[in-house]
Chain A
């Protein structure tokens, strides 16, 4: 089988749902700017060279509907010949988009393709505008529609992840992100033009501005502050706004190419996408997904946990992320993830608790973060993984190019 290369990989900042910088910016406009920057960072490749765009989206309806993959190809002025599709695997959608393109390349069906993801949680609410669970099925098995917060509580309760552990994990995520923001380590970020409609004396006026940082990071986070937050999903629960991912708007895309194409355009690829897999689990504890997907991925590729030099484990909830780390034997090695440690290799610049989790975009966003850091740190092998609503996990293995 052929190799599939990530040649360039970018993301918009992640901005808070409702109150953040992108709350009034259309998801297409976020995605459009990410794609334009991707093309700019892939010199020599023209839009006519791109065969297809595969865009992940967890709620592909309304502003994100009508096959946003094809709409965006047209909006971005790709020629009619360039195709586009939307893919939905909830929180893995963005990675799924990239993996699908990698599989085309690997199978020899394609040479140049874009994979990515987009989600404006401000504009299309989580759950969609018109959720309609099946009436009979929701009586027989309502867990398939269960709220994500409840699954996080279930993981915390079943696997004894305490409130303190979760808060501590959230605190480190914020500190790692604060550090990265201050030192401008997110080189994959595309400064993105956003709009807002501002009322002045009763008249509304459109304003545009450039957003170039993740606006959910809270530098002032303290353990005491986190301890004061109330559980949001369950009476007497342990999952709070401070130890859960933020709901966020954002877009991210990657250029996937075959070896022939890389040579043709004389490009230096960043990493190979070696393998991608998904694994299922119980819907009411969907957070344990990575604990199944990562071992499956490692087994497929003949790798061991110790071989991996860099990890992005999506922080949907501290409880599930801690559980995944425990299963992989990583949690107790605190130097691998704590913000104060120079040896950290897990979520090195913070995770979704600080940076946000724009559902369908997340997989592509973490890809942009991980390949940038592989390059920066010379990390040979990296794994990206996340849990998925409905009871799944996804995981991908990247290998740094020489």
Chain B
């Protein structure tokens, strides 16, 4: 029978339970969220269903209010969740297709719960535990055989919506059919990256992760480094999140971290690094003092306000356990790494340096590599699982084995031996076999070294996924400039890949896109605009490169700005009216020019985590790449033409506010709500599938018979918009809500979006709108205030409101 997930029960409404419920609801599944009846009810309250559900309702509310948001689309997703308690609503579990347990980490409680579930669940229902540390075999010891066949671990990471990792842990008797199904559902519907883990304490990500944190602390204390020194090394320079070691711990909570550490210590009696899991005394003291990190407004780091409202940043001195002023330390190896291009080069520069920081980085990194290799096959069968877990669950740019490749396996092993470290047998064997890296490309195939087989094996990747880096390595790049490439995706579909810093658009890329367009017209059937930059959420394109235009403006070369924007318009409209379909595949930050590029495509296939907006006003500008034209199009053309729209104001105000307030969507669903995405644009849950899905969309459009959009006139709100807005701006100005230059820019945007000085309802040409946009753009650059604003945002990354 075809297995389907129509209803899911999530038991436990804490941070993880709420997050899992939100994710399931976003996938379109009906969710029953359950929690216990509060212990402290009065006799009166015991009869009140609301009071009985207080725990779960509070949990759901916390999920709804969570920042960053856990829901993609609150309005539509929240009603998918109903709540109940474990006494009155337990029988409802009989209707569920999947029951996810996310209750407190206590074996006895979990065992009792599963025993109760066994009594009500219908045969075939999948039951999984989100435990992060308790062995499955202990929890399922006395469950019946049929339930054990459908029992497994599904370990999500916090925050559930944003962390790509989903660890799946088969039980001893879990049916392969069930495992395959959950993996497929997790990948396609929940958008997760699957790592297969074994039933060992803390599974893969947290086992390796907590060791890394423990080791970093241990060696920090031995070598006498400070917390800011450690974080300076193990952040961005090493391809790790900016929050590095200690800020990440503050984020997770020192109590949770200590708990995971202790649990590993207790359960992994034979671990050769067991001492690493002993929580250092200074950390224990912080936990005892309830200094748990961000949730208690102070952990390793703390912000203090002076009476003058100045923020003082403090950090714990591990030798005394007291807060001291925070400084920004650096090491020669870090300064040298700044000059390196790639993360691999940075890693080499740091771990093979000879200052105090470099020596520390080496010890910690080497220990992590060794520990990871020693965990195969204990916690997972391959290096791939461990690397993926660390990339997807801890946001490392590279997993431990990729890092090891980056610093050179032979070179590092020699250094480890020289330093008296115990190099794992499996790595020694690999080197002895002549293999010198954990990964390599063989023709078109990505291979990894399989310790069990003693040979390279092909990596199994998600079938839908297209990896641009692999195509690049396989010489599929057709054309390239330093910041942009055209890559052959096969089947006549080509991909324009940005690879500038934050994928910001510049003149070179715009020229290249025109050239690439010509190539596709002659040689292909369609085009995808997509890239796969890392990071969470990552940037499809964070906007336009302002430096060039600012330079022109400062030199008074406004005619050149005008002709530059003319070129931009020609490029954008050239793509739009090209004789082949163009599909944009945005994810993460898709701002300004990036947003405009997408909106000019025939269709958008977006990742669910899409932060899209026209934010030019923050740089003192209006959108210059037809963004306002296309946003207005999205609003006005989403109505069937037979409908008579009498109040264009209802459309105009919303569209205008998107630009005037630089609104950025909180998800792809939100981008659709605000008109950045059209009803025909698609949303994909799994980022790995984005370019594959975009390619499929191109081919489908080709197959259906593609014709470019017609050049038709579009009705505008005209002069009436100006009447409305000038009057409202007066209120905002009087109320002190808008600064003079912001008002000036907002009025320019209003004129552009309203189609200038025509009667409301007049259909106007695109050329007319393009002319207005260009004029507004150049006029703004002429002002000193816009130049100041642009310069400020370039320098600081933050808008200056003039």
Q: Are B730 and A135 interface neighbours, CB within 8 A?
A: no
- Asked if B735 and A234 make an inter-chain contact with CB atoms under 8 angstroms apart, the answer reads yes
Stretch at the interface among A3-11, A147-155, A313-321, A358-366: A147-155
Contact call A138/B649, Cβ cutoff below 8 A:
no
Cα A138 to Cα B729 with chains together (Å): 10
A139-B726, A142-B727, A142-B730 given; A132·B735 CB < 8 A: no
Residue pair B730, A143 in contact (C-beta under 8 Å): yes
Flag if A131 contacts B724 (CB, 8 Å).
Answer: yes
Identify which of residues 126-178 in chain A touch chain B, using a CB-to-CB cut-off of 8 Å.
129-135, 137-139, 142-143, 145-147, 149-150, 153-154
Smallest Cβ-Cβ distance to B747: which chain A residue: A139
By the criterion CB–CB under 8 Å, are B731 and A133 in contact? no
Q: How far is the CA of A137 from the CA of B646 in the complex (A)?
A: 23
Within 8 A of A (CB), among B330-377: none
Whether B737 sits at the interface, judged by CB under 8 Å, is: yes
- 9 interchain pairs, CB-CB under 8 A: A131-B649, A132-B724, A145-B727, A146-B734, A147-B735, A150-B735, A235-B735, A237-B736, A284-B734
Counting CB contacts under 8 A, is A236 at the interface?
A: yes
Q: Which of the 9-residue segments B181-189, B199-207, B501-509, B715-723 touches chain A?
A: B715-723
| Number of inter-chain CB pairs below 8 Å | 66
A-B pairs, 10 with minimum CB distance: A142-B730, A234-B735, A145-B727, A133-B723, A138-B726, A135-B723, A235-B736, A133-B727, A147-B731, A135-B722
Q: Closest approach, in angstroms, between the C-beta of A143 and any C-beta of chain B?
A: 7
Query: Could you say which residues of chain B place their CB within 8 Å of the CB of A150?
Result: 731, 734-735
Residue A331 is within 8 A (CB to CB) of chain B in the complex: no
Tell me the bound Cα distance from A109 to B730 in angstroms.
45
Q: How many positions in chain B have a CB within 8 Å of any CB in the partner chain? A: 18
Q: Which parts of B637-651 form the interface with A (CB within 8 Å)?
A: 646-647, 649
A78 at the B interface (CB under 8 A): no
Once the chains bind, are B736 and A138 in contact (CB under 8 Å)? Answer: no
A138/B722 contact (C-beta < 8 A), A154-B734, A235-B735 known: yes
Chain B residue contacts of A146, Cβ below 8 A:
727, 730-731, 734
Q: Interface 1/0s, chain B 57-78, versus A by CB < 8 A?
A: 0000000000000000000000
- Residue numbers in B under 8 Å from A138 (CB-CB): 722-724, 726-727, 730
A304 to B722, CA, bound (A): 47
Chain B nearest CB from A188 CB (Å) reads 35
Q: Chain B residues near A236 (CB, 8 Å)?
A: 736
Complex-state Cα separation, A134 to B646, whole angstroms:
18
- Extra contacts, 15 of them, besides A130-B646, A139-B722 (Cβ < 8 A), are A129-B647, A131-B727, A132-B649, A133-B724, A135-B723, A138-B727, A142-B729, A146-B727, A147-B731, A150-B734, A153-B735, A233-B735, A234-B735, A235-B736, A237-B736
Q: Mark A224-252, 1 if CB is under 8 A from B, else 0.
A: 00000000011111000000000000000
For the complex formed, measure the closest distance between the CB of A91 and the CB atoms of chain B, giving whole angstroms. 18
Q: A134 near B735 (CB under 8 angstroms)?
A: no
Q: Which residues of A contact B757 (CB under 8 A)?
A: 135
Question: In the bound complex, what is the Cα–Cα distance between A138 and B722 (angstroms)?
Answer: 8
Total contacting residues, chain A, CB less than 8 A: 25
- Interface positions of B from 726 to 746, Cβ below 8 Å from A: 726-727, 729-731, 734-737
Complex: A205 Cα to B730 Cα, angstroms? 43
0/1 string, A94-138, CB within 8 A of B gives 1: 000000000000000000000000000000000001111111011
Least distance between B713 CB and chain A CB atoms (Å): 21
Residues of chain A within 8 A (CB-CB) of B719 are 135
A234, B726: Cβ atoms closer than 8 Å = no
Give A145 to B724 CA distance when docked, in angstroms.
9
Contact of B720 (CB < 8 Å), options: A129, A132, A139:
A132
Smallest CB separation, A237 vs chain B (Å): 7
Which residues of the other chain, A, contact B722 by a CB distance below 8 angstroms? Answer: 135, 138-139
Residues of A within 8 A of B649 (CB): 130-132
Shortest CB–CB separation between residue B703 and chain A, in angstroms? 40
Residues of chain B within 8 A (CB-CB) of A147 are 731, 734-735
**CB-CB nearest in chain A for B725:** A138
Residues of A within 8 A of B726 (CB): 133, 135, 138-139, 142
Contacting residues, chain B, for A145 (C-beta < 8 A): 727, 730
Asked if A132 contacts B734 (CB within 8 A), the reply is no
Task: Indicate with 1 or 0, residue by residue over B646-688, a CB within 8 angstroms of chain A CB atoms.
Answer: 1101000000000000000000000000000000000000000
Q: Hey, which chain A residues are within 8 Å of B720, CB to CB?
A: 132, 135
- Which residue of A is nearest B729, CB measured? A142
A249→B730 CA distance, assembly (Å): 28
Question: What is the minimal beta-carbon distance from A89 to any residue of chain B, in angstroms?
Answer: 20
A231 to chain B, nearest CB (A): 9
Chain B residues near A234 (CB-CB < 8 A): 734-737
A235's nearest neighbour on chain B, judged by CB, is: B736
Interface membership of chain A positions 205-234, coded 1 if the CB is closer than 8 angstroms to chain B and 0 otherwise: 000000000000000000000000000011
Question: How distant is B632 from chain A, measured CB to nearest CB, in Å?
Answer: 18
Docked Cα-Cα span, A130 to B648, in Å, equals 9
Q: How far is the CB of B291 from chain A (nearest CB, A)?
A: 31
Residues A132 and B723 in contact, CB atoms below 8 Å apart = yes
Question: In the complex, what's the smallest C-beta–C-beta distance from B661 to chain A, in angstroms?
Answer: 15
Query: Considering only CB atoms, which chain A residue lies closest to B721 in the complex?
Result: A135
Residues from chain B with Cβ under 8 Å of A131 in the complex:
649, 724, 727
- State the Cβ distance, B427 to closest chain A Cβ, in Å: 63
* A153 to B720 alpha-carbon distance, docked (Å): 28
Across the interface, which residues of A come within 8 angstroms of B647, CB to CB? 129-130
Q: How far is the CA of A145 from the CA of B729 in the complex (A)?
A: 11
